[in-house]
Structure 1
Amino acid sequence: MKVRNTLNNNLAAAATAIHKAAKQKPAFIALPEYFSVPNNMEQFTSAEKISRETYAETLCFLEKTSRELEEIYLLGGTVLEEAEGKFYNTSTLWLNGKLIGKYRKINPIKIELDAGVSRGDKPAVYETMHCKVGMLICADMFDSATVRAVVDLGAELVFLPVAAMGTHPHVKGHPLTEKLATENGIYVVKVGNVSSNARGGRSAFITPWGIAQEATDEVKDSVMTMDLDMQKLREYQKNLKKPA
């Protein structure tokens, strides 16, 4: 998703993409990290200000949109949530207008910490009608303990909303998420928020047997869909657990 310069424009773009995706009757629809926050992360200076200006309206949007989807799970990207005087980069999971799960990013990056974002402390995996869903956010992928906690809780499908930074080095493929998927026998759905460039923010479907689909480097909105074979995944997991 291409980030816009106003909250309303971001929400409108998200609504268009969600309803386009919903026509295909998927099991899940997912949005990127900070999908409603205007401008790019280089301008991220105050978590309190961003939360005040975007949180309530974004939550209302997610609740309303989820209610319209009818039996489709909505992974609501991330929002800046305030709790007991602290601010968290929080991913939410919705079904039929109800908030059924959330996860606070355990590993905020420096620009977030400097802006006042606090660290979460609890991994999150939720049972759904289709599979066990794990929730991670962007830089969590760099922390092996955070990743291991989600895998140990039984995640089969991990949603990874991310946001691109202009300073992110160009990386071929998705080496970290590919390694995670292969070594642990899980699907990873990387959902990208891009602005001036797409480095580090490209959306992708990653399976234990490789990258199944990925977005281009072009800065634009796109809707990606894929059928994920859970039986094939579970057979792969069984083989992983067999003694050598």
Structure 2
Amino acid sequence: MANVFRIALVQMAVSANKVENITKAVKLVKEAAASGAKLVALPECFNCPYGTSYFADYSEKVPGASTDALAKAASENNVFLIGGSIPEEDQGKFYNTCTVFNPEGNIIGKYRKAHLFDIDVPGRIKFKESDVLTPGSGFTVVDTPYCKIGIGICYDMRFAEMAQIYNQKGCKLLVYPGAFNMTTGPAHWELLQRGRALDNQLYVATVSPARDESASYIAWGHSSAINPWGEVIAKADSSEKIVYAEIDPTYVDEVRTQIPIGSQKRSDMYEVKG
């Protein structure tokens, strides 16, 4: 069908060398476009290692070196590009920021991670993004010729209300660059994606860095795409690779017609009585 489009999820290996990371990202965007992708997405923190000890040192302005390279890559390859995320510095504060580009190389969306990754699982993992980062204060909807797309980053996926808001704003695809770890990844990564897709009857795509066992923070990998029926339609393992999926916005409408949960909102039932 004419409105079906190919998305590429670039699960790239990220090193401590920012220039090399940017160069690799640009190369992989070109490869994805050559394979027919109309929308290409990079992982969370594609230009630097993930970790609170790295955010300030690797941070930059937006626009800056990383986003300038992505703008050029989007333009040269005639694709919509979801630029994963980078540590952004703005007026002395640091954000985990995703920029989105159109095929002309213009920024058409900018999202700062709203829900910061602050967790403590005793004996397994403790991490506190808020030690360095400031949360964003708004959501981002990107309008494309294919469909509206809602942007989140990693931990945002745990917040069902966010996905519901994007659904209400007309999004048919949610994209979450993310870097779940070896504790939460096997337990919740796929489960959360399928839940958000099934609850809202839309597509969900996630983009992780490839796994690096020598890193201080080890990413789970397994970048995936989920359809509105809650089915996994594409999934990587933990290694560096590009995963492709076909997104059909009309299938969203079909599923919503078959199981019309959106037309049966009963706010009166949700009132707390007594």
Q: Does 1:109 align with 2:143?
A: no
1:67 aligns with 2:75: yes
1:34 correspondence with 2:41: no
Q: 1:1-244 residue pairs with structure 2 within 5 A?
A: 1-37=12-48, 39=49, 41-42=50-51, 44-45=52-53, 47-52=55-60, 56-70=64-78, 72-95=79-102, 96-110=104-118, 111-114=128-131, 116-168=132-184, 170-171=186-187, 174-197=190-213, 200-209=220-229, 210-217=231-238, 220-238=239-257, 239-240=259-260, 241-243=262-264
Query: Structure 1: which 5+ runs fail to align?
Result: none
Moved more, 6-15 or 91-100: 6-15
Larger relative contact order (CA 8 Å, sep ≥ 6) = 2
Write the distance in 2 (CA, Å) between the matches of 1:56 and 1:179.
36
8 Å contact 1:164–1:195 — kept in the other structure? no
Whether the 8 Å contact between 1:32 and 1:163 is mirrored in structure 2 is yes
Partners of 1:146 and 1:45 in 2: CA distance: 28
Task: Spell out, residue by residue over 1:82-129, the C-alpha distance to the aligned partner (whole angstroms, 9 max, x if none).
Answer: 233322111111011100111111011133211x21011111112211
CA contact (8 A) 2:211 2:219 kept: no
Stretch of structure 1 that moved more, 77-86 or 177-186: 77-86
Distance 1:156 1:169 in 2: 25
CA contact (8 A) 1:55 1:79 kept: no
Between 103-112 and 79-88, report the one with greater CA deviation. Answer: 79-88
**Matched residue SS, 2:83:** strand
Indicate the residue corresponding to 2:123 in structure 1: none
**Residue 72 of structure 2 aligns to which amino acid in structure 1?**
K
Identity %: 27
Call closer, same or farther: CA 1:65–1:169 in 2, change over 3 Å: closer
Hey, what's the Cα distance between the residues in 2 that align with 1:53 and 1:85?
A: 11
Instruction: Tell me the matched-pair count.
Output: 237
Is the CA contact 1:27–1:130 (under 8 Å) kept in the aligned structure 2?
A: no
2:69 maps to a residue whose letter is: F
Deviation at 1:208, TM superposition (A): 2.1
Q: TM-score, normalised by structure 2?
A: 0.79
Indicate if the aligned counterparts of 1:170 and 1:199 stay in contact, CA closer than 8 A.
no
